[in-house]
Every structure is written in C-alpha cells, then in structure tokens.
Amino acid sequence: MPTETGIYYSYLGGGISQVGSPPLVLIHGAGGTHLHWPPELRRMKGVEVFGIDLPGHGRSEGQPEKSIEGYASRLTEWMDALGLNRAVLIGHSMGGGISLTLSMQAPERVAGMVLVGSGAKLRVHPQILSLTETEGSFQQAAELITTWAFSTHTGARIKELALSRMMEVPAHVMHADFQACDRFDMMDILSEIMVPTLVICGLQDQLTPAKFSRYLADQLPNATLELVEGAGHMVMLEKPEALVGPLRTFLKHL
C-alpha cells in the first residue's frame, strides 16, 4: 500500500504480537524491492513487519535518491507519515547503510538494527558501475551481479528469479543506487552508534565479503555477529532460516 510520501510498503500485523514490541522495517539493497526479503521474514508471526520499496523502486513513486543520507531522510519521512516512532531496522547491503545512517542521525528512532550482507563502506566494483550506466549494457550488468550475489550452492531457480526481478529495475535506478553506495563511508564513526545490532553475512558473499561484517561487529559497541555457511550476498533468500532464527533471539533480548 502507498503512503502520502509516495513510498509503497507491504504490511503484516503479526497475529498476536507482543504489546509494546517495536515493528520491523525491511529495507532492501541497491536496485531491489521488498520482495528481496523471503516470505519467512515478511510474514513473521508475533511481530509487525513493514517491507518498503525505496523511492523509484518497485511500486514506489519518484526517482532514486543520490545518496544514502537521502534515502535515510526519506525513510524518516515515511516513518513519520505512519506514526512509527521507533522500529527495528533490517537492512540488506545498501539498506544496511541506510540503517546505520539513521541510527547515527536519530538513534531514538531505532530500537535495533539487523545488518545483512552490508558494511561501513560499500565500494562498488568499477565494472558494475560502468555496465549499469547505460540501457545497452544493463542486462550484462544484471547477469554479472546475479553471478556474484549467490553462493555456488544456490539452486538455478532462485538465481533465475533474482535475475528476472533485477531486469525489471530501470538502469538509471540501479546506477544511482550503486553510485550512492560507492560514496558511502562510516568506518571512522561506527563506535559512536550505540544501537543494539545483529550482523549477518554469508561466508561466500563476494559483493560485501565477511570481513566487512566482522569489522561492523568489532566496531559497533553493541553488536553480535552471525556468519552463515553455504550462502552469499543474498543470504536471506538462500538461507532464510539462518536469518529468522538469530533474529528471533535478537528481538527477545532487545
């Protein structure tokens, strides 16, 4: 459903949720939509779950932002429109950068963070930046990203579906996202973010290698780390149970 901010979101009430528990907000990565999150998480019982499409993505209106800070501001506007004072932010890749930025700018709005396949710095391979720059080379870019995004253990069907969804994203949206990621850098200020955090990464992640997640867990004062065997950058689609299990434990301790 859309909001007055032009941002579309999916919503699940969670059944009998714990009174006073903060909702979850799922924030996808570059060129993604809320469908980049598995049903096991989008329909998680016992908690409210919002899955958003960032501006210019999926069913949301407008154009992509040019910076991670811009997306964080739009996320704050969306939370204000829905009356969400605090939430647990679950961000994948670029979505993790957005979560970190909002946790720095307005920590009172963030009850907790789950950073999935992300990093304090999100430099993008020059080949990806080059191939996403024009429509003519976008399919080649999508195929390359899909190859790098999944582990060798992942079935062909999941990869085919991911490629199909990626091809639905306009090239300029994907390119803008990767440019925003390439400029993002919070490595020197992580120690100032006190928000409770769960860091999750697939051990075969080629786009944001496990060393990125280890750095997050080492530098964030209130972070724990979960490394997942047999999964790559799209760990939430490859091994959804490896995300949902630690997440439930994390939420119990908030």
Domain ranges of the chain: 9-120+185-252
pTM for the whole thing? 0.96
Calculate the average pLDDT of the chain.
94
Q: For residue 240, name the pLDDT band (cuts at 50, 70, 90).
A: very high
pLDDT digits (tens, 9 = 90+) for 182-218: 999 999 999 999 999 999 999 999 999 999 999 999 9
pLDDT digits (tens, 9 = 90+) for 49-76: 999 999 999 999 999 999 999 999 999 9
Helices and strands, number each (H, E), in the chain: 10, 7
Give alpha helix (H) positions in the chain. 39-42, 68-82, 94-105, 126-131, 138-149, 156-166, 171-183, 210-219, 235-238, 240-252
CATH class of the domain defined by 9-120+185-252: alpha beta
What was the pLDDT predicted at 15? 58
pLDDT digits (tens, 9 = 90+) for 131-157: 999 999 999 999 999 999 999 989 999
